[in-house]
Amino acid sequence: MLGTEEQLASVIFRRNNFEGRDRVLTFQAAASNLKRTAYQARTVSLSGSLERQTNIFFQKKWTWSLGGELAASDERDVIVTTGAPRRRTYFIAALPTSLSYDGSNDLLNPTRGFRLSGRFSPEASLEGSIFGYAKMQIDASAYQPITTGAVLAGRIRLGTIAGAPRDAVAPSRRFYAGGGASVRGYGYQDIGPRDPNNDPIGGRSLAEFSLEARVKAFGHFGVVPFFDGGNIYTGGIPTLGGMRYGTGIGVRYYSNFGPIRIDVGTPVNPAKGDPRVAVYVSLGQAF
C-alpha cells in the first residue's frame, strides 16, 4: 500500500475456519513507514493471531482474538520541553488480546441493543533499557429507537497505559484522539497535549464519548446530528478534565450493503491550530 502519509508492504498467511467455524489463523510479516503530525515511524514486524470473527452474513454475539507481535521501530518525534527533534529505536514484544460482545441487531446499521469490547496488551519495550507496561481499552455503545425512523445512539471509550511514563512509551504506541472515528470536528489525532511546535504528543490515557440521533429523512437518505467529546491525558487515569467538544451534522445514504456516511463537524472549544470545519466520509455508521 502506497500513500503520502503511509507506505506498507506485507506478506500474509491466512487460514479460515481453523479448528472451528469462523476461526481465522493469521501470520504476517510487514514493513511500514507512517508519517503523522505527532511522529514518524519506520517499522518492521512479525505478528500472528487466532481470532473468532463476525461477518455481515453471520453476525456473532461473542468474538475474541489472541495474538503476538515482535517489532523494531525507528521513530522520530521531538523533546517535549524544547521542541528539538529526536530519533529513537524501539524493540517491542506484545501479546494483544481482545474480547467483544455484540448485542445489536445489525453489524453496519444497528438500531437497537448494545456492544461492549475490551482490549488488553502486555508489552515489553527495549530502548536504552528494557521495561514493561500494559495497554488497556474499553469501548461500549448502545442504540435505542425513539420514534419510527429515529434512533438515539451513544458510545464511550476509556483507555490507559499502566506501568511506564508517557515519554518512555514509543510514540506510535500511545493513545491519540480526534478524527472521524473519534471526536469529530478535529483533525486526526490532534486532540490532547502538544509540544512547543503545537504538534500532538499523545498520552497514557484517554476518554471519549459520542451522542447522535439517526433520523431517516426521505427515501434512502437520513440525517444525523451529533455531539462528541474527548481528551488525552499524561497520567495513567483519565481525569475527564479539559475535554474537547465537537458538534455537527451528517448525511447517510442507506445502500443495500450498508450506510454511506458523510459527517461535517466543527470544534466547540478549539485549541490553537484546530480547523474550523472537518469533513469525514466512510462506510457504515460512526459506531
- pLDDT tens for each residue of 210-249: 999 999 988 899 999 999 999 999 999 999 999 999 999 9
**Position 249, amino acid:** I
Cα dist from 104 to 6, 150, 255, whole Å: 34, 16, 19
Q: What is the pLDDT of residue 23?
A: 93
Q: How many CA atoms lie within 13 A of 53 on its CB side?
A: 14
Residue 2, pLDDT above cutoff 90: no
| Length of the chain (residues) | 287
Separation between Cα atoms, residue 74 and residue 171, nearest integer Å: 10
* 3-class secondary-structure state, position 184: coil
> What's the DSSP call for residue 110?
-
Average pLDDT over residues 98-123: 96
pLDDT at site 9: 96
Say whether pLDDT at 68 is over 70: yes
pLDDT of 258 reads 83
Q: What are the start-end ranges of the E strands in 111-243?
A: 113-127, 129-147, 150-162, 205-218, 221-233
The grid cell for 109 is 446499521
Q: Is the pLDDT of residue 3 over 70?
A: no
Percent of the chain whose predicted confidence (pLDDT) is above 90: 86
Other Cβ atoms less than 10 A from the Cβ of 84: the count is 11
Return mean pLDDT, the chain: 95
pLDDT of the residue at 269:
96
Q: How far is CA 8 from the centre of its chain?
A: 19
Q: What average pLDDT does this structure show over 114-122?
A: 98
Q: What is the DSSP string of the chain?
A: ---SSEEEEEEEEEESSTTSTTEEEEEEEEEEEEE-SS-EEEEEEEEEEEEE---SSS--SEEEEEEEEEEEEEEEEE-TTT--EEEEEEEEEE--EEEEEE-SS-SSS--SEEEEEEEEEEEEEEESEEEEEEEEEEEEEEEEEEETTEEEEEEEEEEEEESS-GGGS-GGGSB-B-STTSSTTS-TT-BS-B-TTS-B--BSEEEEEEEEEEEEEETTEEEEEEEEEEEEESSSS----S-EEEEEEEEEEEETTEEEEEEEEEESSPPTT--S-EEEEEES---
Task: Indicate whether 1 pLDDT > 80.
Answer: no
Kindly list the distances between the CA atom of residue 106 and the CA atoms of 72, 146, 251, 287, in Å, as whole numbers in the listed order: 39, 17, 19, 12
Distance of CA 265 to the CA centre of its chain: 18
Tell me how far apart the alpha carbons of residues 17 and 113 are, in angstroms, rounded to a whole number. 28
pTM: 0.93
What's the rounded mean pLDDT across residues 194-208? 96
The mean pLDDT value for 272-285 works out to 93
For residues 53 and 73, the answer to whether their CB atoms sit within 8 Å is no
Instruction: Note the pLDDT of residue 54.
Output: 87
Q: State the average pLDDT over residues 105-121.
A: 95
Structure-model confidence comparison of residues 106 and 224, the more confident one? 224
Cell of 230: 474527548
Instruction: Check pLDDT > 70 for residue 57.
Output: yes
Given a cut of 90, whether residue 204 has pLDDT beyond it is yes
Q: Which residues pair with residue 42 across a beta bridge?
A: 33, 74
> Residue with C-alpha cell 445502500?
255
